[in-house]
Amino acid sequence: MAAPHELTALEQWQALQRGEISPTELTEHYLGRIEAQDSGLGAFVSVTADAARKRARFVEQLMPRSMPLWGLPFADKDLQSRAGVPARFGSRLMQDYVPAESDDLVLALDAAGGVSLGKTSTPEFGLPSYTETLAGPPARNPWDRSRGAGGSSGGAAVAVAARLLPFAPGSDGGGSVRIPAAACGLVGLKPSRGRVPSSSGINALGGLSVAGPLARTVADAALLLDAMIAPRGGHPQHLYSLRPPGDDAPLLAAAVRGEGRFQLGVMTTSAWDDAYPIEIAPEALAALMVAVDGFASMGHGLEETALEPDDSYVPAFRAIWQAGAASIPADTPEQEKLLEPLTRWLMNRGRELSARDLAQALTALSAYERSFIRQLSRFDAVLTPALALTPRPLGWYDAVDGERNFAQQVQYTPFTSMVNVSGLPAIVLPVAETGAGLPMGVQLIGRPGGEATLLALGAQLERRLQWQHRTPPEAGGPGLPCAR
């Protein structure tokens, strides 16, 4: 019989429903794996073992099995507050902060019947697209420990790829779910703005950041996303009148069935092309062709497309990213010294912006959103590389010069932030490996509210390529291959 971590999250949920394993047994299994495997990987910044055991007993004894995540372990990203658990935000500045209240997303996942095992690592305040921080060890890629896991949901990606969790929630303000998913060979889904009530993006600056799942399979991503949307099942409790078009039907069915034929655009241009030298690595183009060939063989229509030039996007996005850092609670020289150089650069630039600067940037990004959606509107989904380069070596990013560091991030991840600005859904799919065994993915950008189409397309490609059976070296350890 397969060990629990060798099963998909959906298979684990089904085993829980059948009584083949209990929530307490599954929790103990993953706590044991974390203790044995996480040393040197940097997936977790804290493991709340006693609280997890208590929570698993509560779920087992007092919560109905019908809850969407009944008994399934997960972990909170360390940008999310859980009452009584340190929330360090990847920063030395926040080392002693223990929140008294939990964030809405944390409460939602609890309401769905999940069992939190602790906190996954994130870069300082979630600002970089890589998870290497002065506050703790880096998140190392389970496919090659000398490589980074991406960010800012880097710890979550490491935990799922190394089979330390069945799946994990992340947050995505400029690619922070999709970047680490691509780097670590996972499925990562950024929902439409307004889709997830507890982390809709509507109250975020520029509407950029939303919560989304990281998982090994398309169905697992849909399972977690459904729980984020409607933690108690049934109709979700939306907190704003703004939401994506379409109904609130569960998405797991689309991911399991994987049906439909669609018209796809294929695009290698990005919003950053005119401001930075963007070069797409051969490995990224090869992965794109794997997806193109796969979709073409299944009868989907494919057509090359390109973005119109736009000189307003880059300064506007930079201004919003800097403005978002301006509220970091570093108000004295001593506190500022605890921040990393990139964070200080972003924060100080953000504090130099005027109200007029901010208003102009928000107006420009709103116009870009309309233009981007218009340009892609004739397609059911648009296919791009997930990342422009292979997973980056640890220490590759400039640790001193904030401007150069920002440019490096753009060159690695040019295809992600424009999706946040537009509020569209997007999914990353792990379609290929390099000659050195590193995962490479592609991104599908959907129409507003088009998550079901993305999941159906992902399921079709998954059935063809069978990526769910690939196992990184760090996933099992000696004598524990992940063979199914």
Alpha-carbon distance of 121 to 125, in angstroms, equals 11
In sequence order, which residues have a C-beta less than 8 Å from that of residue 267 and are 6 or more positions away?
Answer: 304, 305, 306, 307, 382, 383, 384
* Catalytic-role residue among 91, 102, 176, 198: 176
In sequence order, which residues have a C-beta less than 8 Å from that of residue 57 and are 6 or more positions away?
Answer: 23, 24
- Whether 77 is catalytic: yes
Tokens of 119: 């906190």
* Catalytic-role residue among 46, 77, 91, 192: 77
Tokens of 88: 């360090």
Alpha-carbon distance of 312 to 315, in angstroms, equals 6
How many residues make up the chain in this entry?
484
* Catalytic-role residue among 91, 121, 129, 152: 152
Alpha-carbon distance of 391 to 183, in angstroms, equals 5
- With contact defined as beta carbons under 8 Å apart, do 379 and 349 qualify? no
State CA 179 to chain mean position distance: 7
Can you spell out the DSSP letters for 336-378?
HHTS-HHHHHHHHHHHH--HHHHHHHHHHHHHHHHHHHHHHTT
- With contact defined as beta carbons under 8 Å apart, do 184 and 226 qualify? no
- With contact defined as beta carbons under 8 Å apart, do 225 and 336 qualify? no
Angle subtended by helix axes 218-229 and 451-465, to nearest 10: 160
- Whether 354 is catalytic: no
Residue type, 258: G
- Residue 44 in 3-state DSSP? strand
Tokens of 373: 């959606």
Alpha-carbon distance of 456 to 254, in angstroms, equals 5
Instruction: Write down the residue that tokens 């059935």 correspond to.
Output: 463
Catalytic residues: 77, 152, 176
